[in-house]
Amino acid sequence: MAQASYPAELLYHPEHDWARIEDDGSGLATLGITWYAQDSLGEVVFFEAPALGTMLTKDEPYTEVESVKAVSDVVAPLSGEVVEVNQALAENPATINEDPYGEGWLVKVRLSDPSEREALLDAASYMATLAG
Amino acid sequence: MSSTATPTLRRTPLFDRHVAAGAKLVDFAGWEMPVYYGGPPALIQEHMAVREACGIFDVSHMGEIETSGPGSPALLQRLLSNDVAKIAPGGAQYSVLCREDGGVLDDLFTYRLDVDRYLTITNAANHVQDLAWFNAHAIDVPDVEVHDRIDEWAMLAVQGPLAREIVQAISDSPLPARMRAEPRRVAGAEVLVCGTGYTGEDGVELLCAPEHAAALWDEIVRRGATPAGLGARDTLRLEVCFHLYGNDLSVERGPIEAGLGWCCKEDTSFIGSDAVRAVRERGPAERLVAFAIDGPGIARQGNPVAGGGEVTSGTLSPCLQTGIGLAYVPAERAATGTQLQIDVRGKMRPAVVKDKPLYRKDA
């Protein structure tokens, strides 16, 4: 998508990741990178998903996305276990650019400490960090 | 991920054009330069525009050194690795600049503007050092003057299968052939038109006074050239295995190791020729090879090669759709078809040594 966008229903990590926490009490969350992250990186040409069962630690890198020019670490916004990965990205990694909050999601995790969400930013607060 | 520009960066005469075109700007050797224009697919689109039609690059950050006077052939013959006597007036030649020990200080194109007047194009990061090297050695040569011309020339590269047609339409006479450099009036401005480039495509490089650069840029863009940034310039050159100084060339290695023996004529006694001759005769311990990753993954500069050696340039090839690069490897593992294992941030990626260039137009 060409225009910057930061959906209000998501939570954000200052290292340019988003999390969509299921509100059904399942303790599951979907993770991805923000519009700003994909725009800064350029067209994503390579993404190798982490293995199922990988344990993510909040604030630590858990995978990489690569453009033609650069490799960028992806930081976990929340801690948890990878229970699903976006297989479609292996064939079409540029989906991360085209639809970063939808088809371009990276992984789904089972949160190990749901209270960590308190440390994440809402869309307005995240956008404020970009303005600096 | 941020690329905050500081006011200390130098800007080319086309800076306003880059901003207006939505360029992503980066610090490149102290210059604020466009890496690509617009949003994420831009780099690959610019790359393909050059391969399939025409792209235009601002390369005004590159430096120029003018060497003039009756002693200029003698000075250049001493400094440059190639046989400068072979450049006819209006000709062009590629060479390297070596230290005594053969380490490469820069790689350069030299244009012979007139009988006793030469213009040498330097890499932006090396310009000041190259100029000092030229001046230091000019002391030993009579009747020669060395002038820094970096502020007198802007430089545009127009590259791609349609490049000549586009520039020809606004030129007062037929464009010079490949490896020729001659003055023309282009879009009303005095321009040194050079049949050279860094993309593997046909095209020209245009040197003009900075005040004419914007009008020239506008006219060539209006006629269909796609503005292209340093990102596409890098992927284009890597597909055809042109060296990038600071990646594939450095003072740590010599021209024979780099596969540039073809532009070294040791009989001219250039500085470093003894060292270059010695390596050529005994054979280099390592060689720069082109490789393609066999499977997923993209190797990058600095990735180690198992069994010795390292990647000096690596990217995803937009044309080949695979990871490609250049790497120094032990000479006995440099043959085409040799299987390599490259350590890409902890993952071993299989790769194969390929013939150069990696990308061929008619392939």
Residue B65 belongs to a domain with what CATH number?
Answer: 3.30.70.1400
- Per-residue confidence band for B122, with pLDDT thresholds at 50, 70 and 90: very high
CATH number, domain at A110? 2.40.50.100
B154-159 and B181-186 strand pairing: unpaired
Distances in Å between the alpha carbon of B245 and those of A68, B248, B251? 19, 6, 10
Instruction: Indicate if the pLDDT at residue B1 is higher than 80.
Output: no
Q: Is B243 contained in some domain?
A: no
Q: Is A3 contained in some domain?
A: no
Indicate the SS3 state at residue B235.
Answer: helix
Instruction: Flag whether residue A42 sits within 8 Å of chain B, measured between CB atoms.
Output: yes
Instruction: Indicate if the pLDDT at residue B4 is higher than 70.
Output: no
The shortest CB-CB distance from A37 to any of B1, B300, B323 is to B1
Q: Is A66 contained in some domain?
A: yes
Q: Is B205 contained in some domain?
A: yes
CA B298 to chain CA centroid, Å, is 22
Q: How far is B286 from chain A (nearest CA, A)?
A: 27
- Per-residue confidence band for B234, with pLDDT thresholds at 50, 70 and 90: very high
Query: Are residues B326 and B186 part of one domain?
Result: no
Instruction: Flag whether residue A5 sits within 8 Å of chain B, measured between CB atoms.
Output: no
Structural domains in chain B (count): 3
- Residue range(s) defining the domain that contains residue B120: 61-144+254-284
Q: Is B9 contained in some domain?
A: no
8 Å CB contact between A13 and A77: yes
Q: What angle do CA B358, B360, B362 make, to 5 degrees?
A: 155
H helices of chain A, in order, are 35-41, 88-91, 95-98, 123-131
Indicate the SS3 state at residue A85.
Answer: strand
Instruction: Flag whether residue B296 sits within 8 Å of chain A, measured between CB atoms.
Output: yes
Instruction: Flag whether residue A13 sits within 8 Å of chain B, measured between CB atoms.
Output: no
Query: Are residues B22 and B36 part of one domain?
Result: yes
Q: Is A1 contained in some domain?
A: no
Query: Are residues B329 and B202 part of one domain?
Result: no
Q: Which two tokens stand for residue A30?
A: 């979907």
Q: Which two tokens stand for residue B279?
A: 């390596």
8 Å CB contact between B60 and B69: no
Cα(A100)–Cα(A32) distance, integer angstroms: 7
Q: How many residues does chain B have?
A: 363
Greater pLDDT, B4 or B333: B333
CB interface of A with B, residues 47-66, below 8 Å: 48, 64, 66
Query: Are residues B174 and B104 part of one domain?
Result: no
Which of A1, A5, A43, A63 would best serve as a mutation to test chain B binding (most B beta carbons within 10 A)? A43
Query: Are residues B159 and B54 part of one domain?
Result: yes
Q: How far is B40 from chain A (nearest CA, A)?
A: 4
Q: Is B4 contained in some domain?
A: no
- Name the residue in chain A with its Cα closest to that of B296: A46
Structural domains in chain A (count): 1
**Binary contact (A69, B39; C-beta < 8 A):** no
pLDDT in tens, B237-287: 999 999 999 999 999 999 999 999 999 999 999 999 999 999 999 999 999
Query: Are residues B227 and B345 part of one domain?
Result: no
Instruction: Flag whether residue B2 sits within 8 Å of chain A, measured between CB atoms.
Output: yes
pLDDT in tens, B135-150: 999 999 999 999 999 9
Cα(B17)–Cα(B141) distance, integer angstroms: 43
CA B198 to chain CA centroid, Å, is 5
Cα(B163)–Cα(B54) distance, integer angstroms: 5
Residues of chain A positioned with their CB less than 8 A from the CB of B231? 42, 68-69
Lowest mean pLDDT among A24-28, B30-34, B117-121, B293-297: A24-28
Handedness of CA A10, A13, A19, A21 (dihedral sign): negative
Which of A34, A45, A64 would best serve as a mutation to test chain B binding (most B beta carbons within 10 A)? A45
Instruction: Flag whether residue B40 sits within 8 Å of chain A, measured between CB atoms.
Output: yes
Q: Is B197 contained in some domain?
A: yes
Q: Is A4 contained in some domain?
A: no
Handedness of CA B34, B19, B197, B132 (dihedral sign): negative
Percent of chain B with pLDDT over 90: 96
Average pLDDT over residues B21-46: 95
- Per-residue confidence band for B27, with pLDDT thresholds at 50, 70 and 90: very high
- B101: how many CB neighbours lie within 10 A of its CB? 12
Note the pLDDT of residue A1.
Answer: 67
CATH number, domain at B157? 3.30.1360.120
The position carrying tokens 């280099």 is B284
8 Å CB contact between B233 and B244: no
Q: Is B2 contained in some domain?
A: no
Query: Are residues B94 and B46 part of one domain?
Result: no
Residues of chain A positioned with their CB less than 8 A from the CB of B316? 45-46, 66, 68
Query: Are residues B274 and B136 part of one domain?
Result: yes
The strand order across the sheet containing B145-148 reads: B92-98, B104-114, B117-122, B63-68, B145-148
Query: Which ipTM did the prediction report?
Result: 0.89
Query: Are residues B140 and B75 part of one domain?
Result: yes
Quote the DSSP letter at residue A53: T
Query: Are residues B124 and B54 part of one domain?
Result: no
Contacts of A120 (CB under 8 A, 6+ apart): A11, A12, A13, A19, A77, A78
| Dihedrals phi, psi of A86, to nearest 5 degrees | -85, 95
CATH number, domain at B325? 2.40.30.110
Residues of chain B positioned with their CB less than 8 A from the CB of A40? 1-3
Instruction: Flag whether residue B1 sits within 8 Å of chain A, measured between CB atoms.
Output: yes
Cα(B357)–Cα(B353) distance, integer angstroms: 11
Query: Are residues B214 and B93 part of one domain?
Result: no
Mean per-residue pLDDT pooled into runs of 10, chain A (132 residues): 90 98 93 96 95 97 95 97 97 96 98 96 97 74
Q: How far is B105 from chain A (nearest CA, A)?
A: 25
pLDDT in tens, B191-205: 999 999 999 999 999
Q: Which two tokens stand for residue B87?
A: 């450049």
Q: Is B37 contained in some domain?
A: yes
Q: How far is A69 from chain B (nearest CA, A)?
A: 7
Query: Are residues B46 and B174 part of one domain?
Result: yes
The shortest CB-CB distance from B40 to any of A16, A42, A72 is to A42
Note the pLDDT of residue B2.
Answer: 46
Cα(B155)–Cα(B191) distance, integer angstroms: 10
Q: Is B5 contained in some domain?
A: no
- Residue range(s) defining the domain that contains residue A44: 11-131
Q: What's the longest Cα–Cα distance across chain B? A: 58
Cα(B17)–Cα(B20) distance, integer angstroms: 5
